[in-house]
Amino acid sequence: MGQRRDPRSQRCVVPANLMPMQTMTFEVHTGSAPAVADITGQCEQFARQAAGGGDGLLHVFVPHATAGLAVLELGSGSDSDLLSVLNELLPADDRWRHAHGSRGHGRSHVLPAFLRPDATVPVVGGRLALGTWQSVALVDLNVDNRDRQVRLSFLA
Amino acid sequence: MGQRRDPRSQRCVVPANLMPMQTMTFEVHTGSAPAVADITGQCEQFARQAAGGGDGLLHVFVPHATAGLAVLELGSGSDSDLLSVLNELLPADDRWRHAHGSRGHGRSHVLPAFLRPDATVPVVGGRLALGTWQSVALVDLNVDNRDRQVRLSFLA
Amino acid sequence: MGQRRDPRSQRCVVPANLMPMQTMTFEVHTGSAPAVADITGQCEQFARQAAGGGDGLLHVFVPHATAGLAVLELGSGSDSDLLSVLNELLPADDRWRHAHGSRGHGRSHVLPAFLRPDATVPVVGGRLALGTWQSVALVDLNVDNRDRQVRLSFLA
CATH of the domain at C51: 2.60.120.460
What confidence category does residue B3 fall into, taking pLDDT thresholds of 50, 70 and 90? Answer: very low
What confidence category does residue B143 fall into, taking pLDDT thresholds of 50, 70 and 90? Answer: confident
pLDDT in tens, B15-46: 777 888 999 999 999 999 999 999 999 999 99
Integer Cα distance of B47 and B55 in angstroms: 9
Q: Which residues of C touch B118 (CB under 8 A)?
A: 71, 119-121
Identify the pLDDT of residue B38.
Answer: 98
Task: Determine which helix (DSSP H) or strand (DSSP E) holds C50, and give its type and residue range.
Answer: helix C40-51
What contacts B133, CB < 8 A, 6 or more positions away? A64, A65, B73
Average pLDDT, rounded, for chain C? 91
pLDDT over 90 percentage in chain B: 79
Please check whether residue C9 lies inside any domain of the structure. no
Please check whether residue A108 lies inside any domain of the structure. yes
Using the predicted structure, report yes or no on whether residue A7 has a pLDDT greater than 60: no
Integer Cα distance of C114 and B142 in angstroms: 21
Query: Among A9-13, B113-117, B134-138, C21-25, where is mean pLDDT lowest?
Result: A9-13
Using the predicted structure, report yes or no on whether residue B55 has a pLDDT greater than 50: yes
* Residue C73 CA to its chain's centroid (Å): 13
pLDDT over 90 percentage in chain C: 79
Identify the pLDDT of residue A101.
Answer: 81
Closest Cβ–Cβ partner in C18, C23, C50 for A55: C23
Average pLDDT, rounded, for chain A? 91
The verdict on A59 touching B (C-beta cutoff 8 Å) is yes
Identify the pLDDT of residue A4.
Answer: 47
Hey, CA dihedral for C105, C107, C113, C116, is it positive or negative?
negative
Which residue does chain C place closest to B120, by CA atoms?
A: C120
- Contact by Cβ (8 Å): B54, B125: yes
What confidence category does residue C68 fall into, taking pLDDT thresholds of 50, 70 and 90? Answer: very high
- Contact by Cβ (8 Å): C44, C127: yes
Please state whether beta strands A135-140 and A35-38 pair in parallel, antiparallel, or not at all (unpaired): antiparallel
Contact B55 A153 (CB under 8 A): yes
Contact A130 C63 (CB under 8 A): yes
Q: How far is A117 from chain B (nearest CA, A)?
A: 7
Q: What are phi and psi of C123, to 5 degrees?
A: -115, 125
Total domain count for chain B?
A: 1
Please check whether residue C44 lies inside any domain of the structure. yes
Integer Cα distance of A24 and A150 in angstroms: 8
pLDDT in tens, A90-149: 999 999 999 888 888 999 999 999 999 999 999 999 999 999 999 999 999 988 888 999
pLDDT over 70 percentage in chain B: 92
Query: Among A141-150, B104-113, B122-131, where is mean pLDDT lowest?
Result: A141-150
Integer Cα distance of A44 and A23 in angstroms: 14
Integer Cα distance of C26 and C42 in angstroms: 8
Task: Determine which helix (DSSP H) or strand (DSSP E) holds C49, and give its type and residue range.
Answer: helix C40-51
Q: What is the mean pLDDT of residues B56-82?
A: 97
Give the domain range for residue B151: 22-155
Integer Cα distance of C87 and C139 in angstroms: 13
Integer Cα distance of A152 and B127 in angstroms: 16
Query: Among B76-80, B90-94, C70-74, C101-105, where is mean pLDDT lowest?
Result: C101-105
Which residue does chain C place closest to A60, by CA atoms?
A: C118
Please check whether residue C27 lies inside any domain of the structure. no
Closest Cβ–Cβ partner in C65, C109, C151 for A129: C151
- Contact by Cβ (8 Å): C148, C62: yes
The verdict on A90 touching B (C-beta cutoff 8 Å) is yes
What confidence category does residue A18 fall into, taking pLDDT thresholds of 50, 70 and 90? Answer: confident
Identify the pLDDT of residue A6.
Answer: 53
Using the predicted structure, report yes or no on whether residue C144 has a pLDDT greater than 70: yes
Identify the pLDDT of residue C7.
Answer: 53
The verdict on C21 touching A (C-beta cutoff 8 Å) is yes
The ipTM estimated for the assembled molecules is 0.90
Please check whether residue A5 lies inside any domain of the structure. no
Q: What is the mean pLDDT of residues B107-123?
A: 98
Using the predicted structure, report yes or no on whether residue B12 has a pLDDT greater than 50: no
Integer Cα distance of B46 and B134 in angstroms: 17
Please check whether residue A145 lies inside any domain of the structure. yes
pLDDT in tens, A48-95: 999 999 999 999 999 999 999 999 999 999 999 999 999 999 999 999
- Quick one: three-class SS letters along chain A? CCCCCCHHHHCCCCCHHHCCCEEEEEEEECCCCCEEEECHHHHHHHHHHHHCCCCEEEEEECCCCCCEEEEECCCCCHHHHHHHHHHHHCCCCCCCCCCCCCCCCHHHHHHHHHCCCEEEEEEECCEECCCCCCEEEEEECCCCCCEEEEEEEEEC
Q: How far is C105 from chain A (nearest CA, A)?
A: 11
Please check whether residue B145 lies inside any domain of the structure. yes
Please check whether residue C10 lies inside any domain of the structure. no
Using the predicted structure, report yes or no on whether residue B10 has a pLDDT greater than 90: no
pLDDT over 70 percentage in chain A: 92
What confidence category does residue B13 fall into, taking pLDDT thresholds of 50, 70 and 90? Answer: low
User: Between residues B4 and C141, which one has the greater pLDDT?
Assistant: C141
Identify the pLDDT of residue B6.
Answer: 53
**Residue C54 burial class via C-beta count within 10 angstroms: exposed 0-12, middle 13-18, buried 19 and up:** buried
Which residue does chain B place closest to A120, by CA atoms?
A: B120
What contacts B36, CB < 8 A, 6 or more positions away? B70, B74, B79, B82, B83, B137, B138, B139
Helix (H, G, I), strand (E, B) or coil at C69: strand
Integer Cα distance of B130 and C41 in angstroms: 34
Q: How far is C99 from chain A (nearest CA, A)?
A: 8
Q: Which residues of C touch B155 (CB under 8 A)?
A: 56-57, 155-156
Integer Cα distance of C21 and A124 in angstroms: 9
Q: What is the mean pLDDT of residues C94-108?
A: 90
The answer to whether the pTM exceeds 0.90 is: yes
Closest Cβ–Cβ partner in A71, A121, A129 for C112: A71
Scanning A114-143 for CB atoms below 8 A from B yields: 114, 116-118, 120
User: Between residues C33 and B101, which one has the greater pLDDT?
Assistant: C33
- Contact by Cβ (8 Å): C120, B59: yes
User: Between residues C10 and C31, which one has the greater pLDDT?
Assistant: C31
Q: What is the mean pLDDT of residues C121-130?
A: 98
